[in-house]
Amino acid sequence: MIALASLRHVTTATLTTVLLKKGLRNVWLRGTKPLRAGQSRVAGRAFTLRFIPPREDQATPESWAKPTSTRGAIEAMPEGCIAVVDARGVSDAGIFGDILCARMQKRGVAGLVTDGVVRDVAGVLGTGLPVWCQGTAAPPSVAGLTFVGWQEPIDCGGVAVFPNDVILVDQDGAVLIPAALLDDVVTAAVEQERFENWIMSQVEQGAVLPGLYPPNEENLAKYKAYVAGGGK
């Protein structure tokens, strides 16, 4: 929980640099833009949902009343989770509209992240639920997708997401941290943020980039002195 709280002060850009240094290059969920301009940063455990393509005998309005429905999935979401939805990148059928988003908001879901789209954008914005997606479309999910289950491993935006992995999402989109690496990654990310802030202050004072970013020995010493001096 401490790790999750610390993450809220880390940008997704910094986080991807830290993950790359640990050998993880494919951690940014493509096609997950904030639906609302200026949406603030959110971190949470991934609660996964999975869709497959539509089949006229399966993807029907009647299917919404089946036990394996998006409705059932929503009632299983724990408070503070981030719903991560594999919509296979489908951009012409909205996975959720205002009613489902309103219920998620009521349940305390921290955010909705999908490589697909939502529908009734005015209504969804009205619920206040933080949403990251690739856009909006009017048609219902059953026009383009069949819901098949939750808390399974999924593909969201070309990234492998397992239940309970951690998601950090801000204006640059959503980044995944494998559950097993959380503590290591957060520690490194907090330090990386401090370092980049120092670099930025040097650039503002007119420093040239070669030798500074990444730092040569002279600049590294300068930074260490800055840290030793309390980072001011």
Rounded distance between C-alpha atoms, residue 168 and residue 182, angstroms: 11
Dihedral angle computed from the Cα positions of residues 47, 53, 57 and 62, in that order, rounded to the nearest 10 degrees? 40
> Can you read off the two tokens belonging to residue 182?
């959380």
Rounded distance between C-alpha atoms, residue 164 and residue 151, angstroms: 9
**Complex with a copy of itself: residue 3 or 125, whichever CB lies closer:** 125
33-34 vs 82-86, strand pairing mode: unpaired
Q: How far apart are CB 15 and a copy of itself at their closest, in Å?
A: 7
Nearest residue to 188 (alpha-carbon basis) of 177, 199, 203: 177
Q: Does 57 bind a copy of itself (CB under 8 A)?
A: yes
Nearest residue to 190 (alpha-carbon basis) of 202, 180, 182, 200: 182
Q: Does 163 bind a copy of itself (CB under 8 A)?
A: no
Site for a copy of itself in 99-118 (CB under 8 A): 99-100, 102-103, 106
Q: Does 220 bind a copy of itself (CB under 8 A)?
A: no
Interface characters, 1-40, with a copy of itself (x: CB under 8 A): ----------xxxxxxx--xx-xxxxxx-x--x-------
Q: How far apart are CB 21 and a copy of itself at their closest, in Å?
A: 6
Rounded distance between C-alpha atoms, residue 45 and residue 78, angstroms: 9
Q: Does 98 bind a copy of itself (CB under 8 A)?
A: yes
**Complex with a copy of itself: residue 6 or 91, whichever CB lies closer:** 91
Site for a copy of itself in 176-215 (CB under 8 A): 178, 180-181, 196, 199-200, 203-204, 206, 208-210, 213-214
Burial 201-227 (b: 16+ CB within 10 A, else e): ebeeeeeeeeebeebeeebeeebeebe
Q: Does 122 bind a copy of itself (CB under 8 A)?
A: yes
How many residues make contact with a copy of itself (CB under 8 A)?
89
**Complex with a copy of itself: residue 5 or 99, whichever CB lies closer:** 99
Q: How far apart are CB 24 and a copy of itself at their closest, in Å?
A: 5
